[in-house]
Chains A and B, each alone.
Chain A
Amino acid sequence: AQTVTQSQPEMSVQEAETVTLSCTYDTSESDYYLFWYKQPPSRQMILVIRQEAYKQQNATENRFSVNFQKAAKSFSLKISDSQLGDAAMYFCAYAPALTQGGSEKLVFGKGMKLTVNP
């Protein structure tokens, strides 16, 4: 069974600085998707960024980028120029590719609370 591990339950960063959130996963599949979701105090789950395993290029969305290391099964999220609005719970998630009989079932890590200090 696939598992997702977020080893740091909490982190803090100063406003305008850069922070990296770590995530590792375990799977025997070769094709899959990885995600970072953000959950602010409003509780809404917001997709931050998505990475396809077959793509070597790391995904980027504005201030958010990932470091995807397929061999190491590592998927870290870098937030640049941190803003107060980035304070939230962050969840790493894995989904098998549809071609391998997978559904859209996401397997989530336990989450990490990010605090942004002014």
Chain B
Amino acid sequence: EAQVTQNPRYLITVTGKKLTVTCSQNMNHEYMSWYRQDPGLGLRQIYYSMNVEVTDKGDVPEGYKVSRKEKRNFPLILESPSPNQTSLYFCASSLRGSGTGELFFGEGSRLTVL
């Protein structure tokens, strides 16, 4: 089954404790992206990747890191989480060159930073 898988789905952590949210897709998509969703703000892009070893900042990259060492994986790293990073996070992927703009989303990861 074609899917984007995120882990963990739920996480409660404390300020400053490094964490990684993993994202994996099995559709051989070149393009992958991370969004955060906050009430009243919709979804905002954090980072995206056009292909392996190619990443770039989105609209709200502060406090986050990403890497793309393999095509299927695109982890989101919070080196020193802060309470303002409490949010719902989505990983998404797309077949670049499809020209459709359609994204396939993971199921979301609810992160709480105390």
Residues of A within 8 A of B (CB): 4, 9, 32-33, 35, 42-45, 47, 50, 91, 95-99, 102-106, 108-111
Chain B interface category by residue count: 20 to 34
Q: Complex: how many Å from CA A108 to CA B44?
A: 7
Smallest CB separation, A50 vs chain B (Å): 6
Q: Mark each residue of chain B from 30 to 51: 1 if its CB lies under 8 Å from any CB of chain A, else 0.
A: 0101010000111111001010
**Which among B50, B96, B105 is the interface contact of A44 at CB below 8 angstroms?**
B105
Q: Complex: how many Å from CA A99 to CA B98?
A: 11
B31 touches A104 (CB 8 A): yes
Chain A residues whose CB sits within 8 angstroms of the CB of B48 once the complex forms: 103, 105
Residues of B within 8 A of A (CB): 31, 33, 35, 40-45, 48, 50, 58, 88, 90, 92, 94, 96-103, 105, 107-108, 110
Q: Complex: how many Å from CA A23 to CA B57?
A: 26
Q: Complex: how many Å from CA A35 to CA B100?
A: 10
A110 touches B41 (CB 8 A): yes
Q: Complex: how many Å from CA A110 to CA B42?
A: 4
B96 touches A103 (CB 8 A): yes
Chain A residues whose CB sits within 8 angstroms of the CB of B96 once the complex forms: 98, 103-104
Q: Complex: how many Å from CA A109 to CA B108?
A: 18
Subset of 23 A-B contacts with CB under 8 Å: A4-B42, A33-B100, A33-B101, A33-B102, A43-B88, A43-B108, A43-B110, A45-B92, A45-B103, A50-B100, A95-B101, A96-B101, A98-B96, A98-B97, A98-B98, A103-B48, A104-B94, A104-B98, A104-B102, A105-B45, A105-B58, A106-B103, A110-B40
